[in-house]
Amino acid sequence: MPLMIALLLASAPGGGGASSNVRAYFPPQTATYECRYGDDRVTRPMVDDTVLASFAEALAKAGEPALATPRDDGRTIVRFTWLRSFHAPIVLRLTVLPDGAGHLDMVRLSGLGGYALGSVEDRQRRDVASTDIAAVLRAADPARLGPAEPDCGPPGADGAGWLIERQDARGFQFASRWSPCDGVVREVGMLLLQLGGSSDEEIY
């Protein structure tokens, strides 16, 4: 996540509210990793709450439900939150019912992912074919959804935050990446964009 976004969240009106949303949407993350810079060693959190705060704020503005606990109704949910620095934030949520049928909810906010998020500009729902549902569920295998990848480099430049979440009876998994070019987050995000009719968006 760029330092620019972190600073905006910390200083913007209501920024404290964004931080308070983090625990509503994400359980505490305790995993760390070590970076070495010459003789110096620095311990960093695998997933920083500052990163999660930007996603939590967008989800709250979109009126999205929290997924951080196991489901008991037989449904499976896979959600993609897309925060592009210079384009509208988009949230795509696939709900798979116990009978195998499913639908996709799409919310577009009016602002920019790296600045003021705005408010809900568009909200749509569409049914999803069983073959498309199966493709998303295979791609979003819980075993593939590692929360983050260690990165000892500087903060990312302008780009996009990608977040994939999956919730079912077994629990909750999520994975976030910064402008991924490949991997599980990119794969699932692109599948959901195609299902939502948004594959012609500016992808980064």
Tokens of 27: 């359980």
Closest CA to 125 of 110, 109, 106: 106
Residue 204 lies in a domain: no
> Is 201 domain-assigned?
no
Question: Domain count of the chain?
Answer: 1
Containing structural domain, residue 76: 3-195
pLDDT band at 13 (very low <50, low <70, confident <90, very high): very low
pLDDT in tens, 82-129: 999 999 999 999 999 999 999 999 999 999 988 899 999 999 999 999
Task: Tell me whether residue 111 is in a domain.
Answer: yes
Sequence letter at residue 58: A
In a domain, 92, yes or no: yes
Q: Is the dihedral of CA 52, 193, 106, 4 positive or negative?
A: positive
In a domain, 142, yes or no: yes
Phi and psi torsions of 203, nearest 5°? -95, 120
In a domain, 20, yes or no: yes
Confidence of residue 19 (pLDDT cuts 50, 70, 90): low
